[in-house]
A = this chain, B = another copy of it.
Amino acid sequence: MSGPRSSSVGIPGTRARTRNAILNAAAKVLARDRKATLADIAKEAEVGRSTLHRYFADREELVNEVVEDSLHLIGQAVEDAALDRGEPMEALRRAVSAMVAVGDRLLFLFHDPTHFDKLEDTEPDATDLALRALIERGQADGVFDPQVAPDWIESVVWALVYSGCEAAGSGALPRHGVTEAVMRTLENGVCAR
C-alpha cells in the first residue's frame, strides 16, 4: 500500500538520504565480497534489514540499482572531464583522474563481470563513447599508438585505473599518487625513458 515507490522526485530528503546510504554501503560491501548478505549490507548502511527491503524489494533490484547508480556517477565524472577538449594526453589525464575519484564504484563494478555483461544490453553508454572518441582523436593526432586497436587501449586504461585504485585501497600506493602512477605507465609503459 502506498509504497513510496517512484524515483527521487519530490521525496522528503530523508528517503533519498537513506536510499543513498544503502546504495553506498552496498557498493562498498559488495566490492569486497560479492557473496555478502543483505544483512551485511544493511548493517554497513546502519539500517534494519526490513528498511533495506522497503527500498529494494529484491537483492537483484538492489544490485541493479547500485550498478545503475555507479554507472551514473562514473559517467558524470567522466563527462565533467570534457574529454573532447584540449590535448589528448591532457584529456586522458583528466579522464583517469575522474575515474580514480569514483574508485570505490569502479572496484564494485569490476569485481563482478556479470554486471558488465548486462551493460552490453543497453546502448553503448556515453562514458565509453567519450573515451573511445578521445582515443581515436589521440591516434589521429599521432599522440596515441595508432597500431593497436582502440579497444585494447580502452581496456588498458580501465585496467590500470582499476589496478591503481586497488593499490590505493591496500596501501601499496598513496591515494594521491594513483593518477600519476597510472599516467606515467600509460605514457611510458614500464620502461625507463
Binding site for B on A (CB under 8 A): 32-35, 89, 111-114, 139, 142-149, 151-153, 155-160, 162-163, 166-167, 172-173, 181, 184-193
**Which single member of B152, B181, B187, B190 contacts A167 (CB below 8 Å)?**
B152
Q: Secondary structure of the A side of the interface?
A: helix
A13 to chain B minimum Cβ distance, whole angstroms, is: 35
Known interface pairs A144-B192, A160-B160, A189-B189; 16 further A-B residue pairs with C-beta atoms within 8 A, sorted by A's residue number: A34-B34, A34-B35, A89-B191, A145-B188, A145-B190, A145-B192, A148-B181, A148-B184, A148-B190, A152-B173, A155-B163, A155-B166, A155-B172, A159-B160, A185-B189, A186-B191
Number of copies: 2
**Which single member of B155, B186, B191 contacts A144 (CB below 8 Å)?**
B191
**Complex Cα gap A159–B111 (Å):** 13
A158 to chain B minimum Cβ distance, whole angstroms, is: 8
List the B side residues contacting A89 at CB < 8 Å. 191
A159 touches B159 (CB 8 A): yes
Shortest beta-carbon contacts, A-B, top 7: A159-B163, A189-B189, A159-B159, A186-B189, A155-B163, A153-B190, A187-B189
List the B side residues contacting A155 at CB < 8 Å. 163, 166-167, 172
A78 to chain B minimum Cβ distance, whole angstroms, is: 17
A167 touches B191 (CB 8 A): no
If A32-B113, A167-B155 touch, whether A191 touches B145 (CB-CB below 8 Å) is: yes
B181 touches A146 (CB 8 A): no
Beta-carbon nearest neighbor of A138 in chain B: B190
List the B side residues contacting A185 at CB < 8 Å. 148, 152, 156, 189
A136 to chain B minimum Cβ distance, whole angstroms, is: 12
A33 touches B167 (CB 8 A): no
Beta-carbon nearest neighbor of A187 in chain B: B189
Beta-carbon nearest neighbor of A120 in chain B: B170
